[in-house]
Structure 1
Amino acid sequence: MDETKEMRDSKQLISSIQSQFARLSKGQKLIAQYILKNYDKVAFMTACKLGETVGVSESTVVRFANALGYSGYPKLQAALQELIKNKLTTVQRVEMAHEYSDDCTILNKVLKSDIDNIRSTLEEVNEKAFEESSNKLLKARKIYIVGMRSSFAVAQYLGFYLDIILDNVHIIRMDMGDAFEQVVRINEEDVVIAISFPRYSKKSFEIVSYAKRKGAHIISITDSLFAPVASISDNTLLVKSNMASFVDSLVPALSVANALIISVGMKEKEDIKEYFDDLEQIWKEYSVYE
């Protein structure tokens, strides 16, 4: 399936299971019934675990995914996660983490999940949108970066390095007065980078909507075309952020942020070199580093 179709099918998954129920095999019907009642739990189950829970083989689970039009069980699981990830409370996410039995398991599962997220991001990120985003940042009068709650860590990181390169970057902070006061002078010459992951911040969307109405170019770094900021973005950089537990994976978002920084930096290489030459003198004079 192409990405847009997968997104659409995520919304239609439950109705699709219901409509195809009569045509499924006996074992597949057991899976379907379990998913319809417990789709929030199944989103975090392996094919093997789902089979054990329902009382069918792992291969039956895979064939069930195929019967619904998915190339494999991971695609079906991703569709289920797409359905629920913005609806789960933090308490529910903690309850989903029952398979994390010990520290070594946690270390392996979380790192492997991050690796998978980066690999999926690399395969699916829109290269044209990335190139356009890089060029827009170079031409912007001012760059505003917004990311609330955990996304603020990515916003701060991206803003720190972009400001070294371009010197016209403002990170929207909630501890520096009202957020709207910080963007009130925004116009069509400006760019907003919106970083938004489940559970999506209402405040972030409101700020980006205001900037859009003022004519600013919107770049979003988010996990889904269903994300509120994606619907009003000029360029969307989709980042896979499948949840390992109650903590969202921000590793792929940081990787995309890194790529943006380097892309812009390589186009301003001479200016950056001069800037760092000056900084080295300051660091040396004031003994900043050992």
Structure 2
Amino acid sequence: MDPTLRTRIISDIKEGLPALPRRLRTVAKYVVDHPSDFGLDPIRETARKAGVSTYTLVRLAQRLGFGGYDELREPFRHALVSASAGVDQPEWIERLRENGRLGQIQADASMNTLAIVQRSLECQVPEQMQRVVEMLLTACTVYLTAVRASYAMAYYLHYVGRMALPTLQLIPRHMNSAIDELHSAGESDVMVAITFTPYSRETIEACKFARRKGVKLILISDSEIISPDFSADETIIVSVLSTHHFGCYAGSTALIDTLIALLVARGGEAAKARIKSYEDLRRENHVYWVAQKKR
């Protein structure tokens, strides 16, 4: 389920509202004004509340490009389930709402982020996270792949994670494809793939190729199944539900931070020594450039 679909449907309805016939305009306005009720109620109840026939609801769904009423309602139902993280609204959120329209938008976005992070972290099973850490630490090579928006998270995981996991490689490199980088991979290796709806064809192809090579696969995604052509050894689910026209990746970033913390703890003194080595190198580099500027 596309986490931005509900938001885009509402936006499309608002934009096309003036051109709709009167009864379709009535039900369209009801959907915009009462998205939660629309996601919860069966078709007959929605028709009663909106003051239209069930046929009018079906016509609206078809007008918007959906196969039927249930298909139109599903993104609204999904949003209700995914947003129910149970985050208490702190006082600073209330204070934001007192600062006009933009303050209200900032408050809603902040609550959305808090809910996504909580939902993403609370569903992680310690036993699975421990299995994932063991797979990563015992692999000869750990390949890490993602494209487009997901690439930012893969880059962050690689940049920080390699201090605790020196076998970590971000692919593709040098304008190659991920499949090129997996040419010599085998059963002693692991690949971590990060992808969220709409799932990238490049990542799916890399996963399929890795599985054919016998590579163990860890998937970080918003769904257990991103393709019927393969299955992962471990799938870590995070929420990317967004109140915006774009996905929110705060949950996946929080998950990656947790994974890195587990790798550092499991890596012991060796991992801590590598982190210190990186920090010392950065410090020395900073001192060098400060000295160069003074010349």
Tell me the equivalent position of 2:212. 213
Alpha-carbon distance, 1:172 to partner: 1.3
Partner SS, residue 165 of structure 1: coil
- Given that 1:154 and 1:254 are in contact with CA atoms closer than 8 Å, whether structure 2 keeps it comes out as yes
Matches of 2:37 and 2:48 in 1, distance apart? 12
1:201-220 Cα shifts (integer Å, max 9, x gaps): 01100001100111111111
Matches of 1:49 and 1:225 in 2, distance apart? 23
Tell me the equivalent position of 2:115. 116
Tell me the equivalent position of 1:56. 49
Partner SS, residue 192 of structure 1: strand
Partner SS, residue 163 of structure 2: helix
Tell me the equivalent position of 1:10. none
Which one of the candidate residues 19, 25, 37 is aligned to 1:47?
37
Q: Closer, same or farther in 2 for the Cα pair 1:74/1:115, shift >3 Å?
A: farther
Partner SS, residue 144 of structure 2: strand
Tell me the equivalent position of 2:177. 178
Tell me the equivalent position of 2:245. 246
Residues 105-184 of structure 1 aligned to structure 2 (within 5 Å): 105-173=104-172, 176-184=175-183
- Given that 1:193 and 1:218 are in contact with CA atoms closer than 8 Å, whether structure 2 keeps it comes out as yes
Matches of 2:173 and 2:47 in 1, distance apart? 47
The root-mean-square deviation of aligned C-alpha atoms, in Å, is 3.7
Partner SS, residue 286 of structure 1: helix
Q: Closer, same or farther in 2 for the Cα pair 1:106/1:135, shift >3 Å?
A: same
TM-score normalised by the chain length of structure 2: 0.64
Matches of 2:110 and 2:229 in 1, distance apart? 27
Tell me the equivalent position of 1:195. 194
Matches of 1:217 and 1:147 in 2, distance apart? 16
Matches of 1:209 and 1:221 in 2, distance apart? 15
Tell me the equivalent position of 2:258. 259
Tell me the equivalent position of 1:77. 77
Unaligned runs of 5+ in 1: 1-6, 8-33, 58-72, 83-100
Q: Closer, same or farther in 2 for the Cα pair 1:105/1:74, shift >3 Å?
A: farther
Aligned residues, how many?
A: 220
Between stretches 225-234 and 108-117, larger displacement belongs to 225-234
Partner SS, residue 246 of structure 1: coil
Partner SS, residue 194 of structure 1: strand
Which amino acid in the other structure matches residue 78 of structure 1? H
Matches of 2:251 and 2:229 in 1, distance apart? 17
Alpha-carbon distance, 1:227 to partner: 2.3
Tell me the equivalent position of 1:15. none
Matches of 2:123 and 2:165 in 1, distance apart? 28
Between stretches 190-199 and 124-133, larger displacement belongs to 124-133
Alpha-carbon distance, 1:198 to partner: 1.0
Matches of 2:124 and 2:75 in 1, distance apart? 17
Tell me the equivalent position of 1:222. 221
Which amino acid in the other structure matches residue 191 of structure 1? V
Which amino acid in the other structure matches residue 77 of structure 1? R
Q: Closer, same or farther in 2 for the Cα pair 1:107/1:173, shift >3 Å?
A: farther
Partner SS, residue 220 of structure 1: strand
Between stretches 219-228 and 259-268, larger displacement belongs to 219-228
Give the share of equivalent positions with the same residue, in percent.
23
Unaligned runs of 5+ in 2: 2-23, 51-72, 83-99, 291-295
Tell me the equivalent position of 1:273. 272
Tell me the equivalent position of 1:65. none
1:83-135 Cα shifts (integer Å, max 9, x gaps): xxxxxxxxxxxxxxxxxx94223212222112112222233233322211011
1:39-65 Cα shifts (integer Å, max 9, x gaps): xx78x92338999x96739xxxxxxxx
- Given that 1:265 and 1:272 are in contact with CA atoms closer than 8 Å, whether structure 2 keeps it comes out as yes
Alpha-carbon distance, 1:249 to partner: 1.1
- Given that 1:191 and 1:217 are in contact with CA atoms closer than 8 Å, whether structure 2 keeps it comes out as yes
Alpha-carbon distance, 1:244 to partner: 1.7
- Given that 1:222 and 1:230 are in contact with CA atoms closer than 8 Å, whether structure 2 keeps it comes out as no
Which amino acid in the other structure matches residue 237 of structure 2? L
TM-score normalised by the chain length of structure 1: 0.65
